[in-house]
Amino acid sequence: MKKYMKSENKNLMKGYIYLLLSGILLFAACKEKLTPEELAAQEAYIALLEGYQFPYKLNRPAVTYKLPAILREVSGLAMTTTEELACVQDERGIIFIYDTELKEVNRRISFAKDGDYEGLAISGADAFVLRDDGDIYHVPGFDTALPGKEKYKSLLGKKNNTKSIAYQATEKRLLIACKDGKGTSTDFREQMAIFAYNIDSNTVADSVWYSIDSDKVKHYCKFTKIEEPQEEYPEFYSKAVKSFPIFPSALAVHPKTNNIYIVSGVGYFLFVLTPDNKLIFMTRIKKSLHPQIEGMAFKKDGTLFLASEGKETPGVVHEFKHN
pLDDT at 246: 81
C-alpha pair distances (Å), 261 with each of 50, 70, 165, 246, 287: 19, 27, 11, 14, 18
Residue 86 counted as domain residue: yes
Asked if 203 and 301 sit in the same domain, the reply is yes
The verdict on residue 42 lying in a domain is: no
Q: Answer yes or no: do 24 and 102 share one domain.
A: no
Q: CB burial class (10 A; 0-12, 13-18, 19+) of residue 267?
A: middle
Indicate which CATH number applies to the domain containing 304. Answer: 2.120.10
Query: For every one of its 323 residues, what pLDDT tens digit does the chain have, with 9 covering 90 and above?
Result: 444 444 444 444 444 433 443 344 345 445 458 899 989 999 999 999 999 999 999 999 999 999 999 999 999 999 999 999 999 999 999 999 999 999 999 999 999 999 999 999 999 999 999 998 888 999 999 999 999 999 988 767 767 778 899 999 999 999 999 876 544 445 555 688 898 988 887 777 767 899 998 899 999 999 999 989 999 898 888 876 667 778 899 999 999 999 999 999 888 999 999 999 999 999 999 999 998 999 999 999 999 999 999 988 899 999 999 99
Residue 298 lies inside a defined structural domain of this protein: yes
- Assess whether 111 and 171 both reside in one domain: yes
Asked if the structure places residue 38 within a domain, the reply is no
**184 & 243 share domain:** yes
54 and 200 together in one domain: yes
Whether residue 288 sits in one domain with residue 208? yes
Burial 61-75 (b: 16+ CB within 10 A, else e): beeebebeebbbbbb
The string of DSSP letters for 150-205 reads EEE--S--GGG-EEEEEEETTTTEEEEEES--TTSSS--TTEEEEEEEETTTTEE-
| CB count in 10 Å sphere of residue 59 | 12
Asked if residue 215 belongs to a domain, the reply is yes
Asked whether residue 290 is domain-assigned, the answer is yes
Domain count of the chain?
2
Claim to verify: residue 116 and residue 6 sit in the same structural domain: no
pLDDT the model gives residue 276: 95
Give the pLDDT score at 32.
52
Does residue 23 sit in the same domain as residue 136? no
Q: Which domain, by its residues, includes 104? A: 48-320
Distance of CA 107 to the CA centre of its chain: 28
Co-location of 216 and 304 in the same domain = yes
Tell whether 118 and 203 lie within a shared domain: yes
User: Is the domain of 8 the same as that of 93?
Assistant: no
**pLDDT at position 176:** 92
* 77, part of any domain: yes
| CA gap 41, 308 in Å, rounded | 38
Q: Is residue 220 part of a domain?
A: yes
166 and 21 in a common domain: no
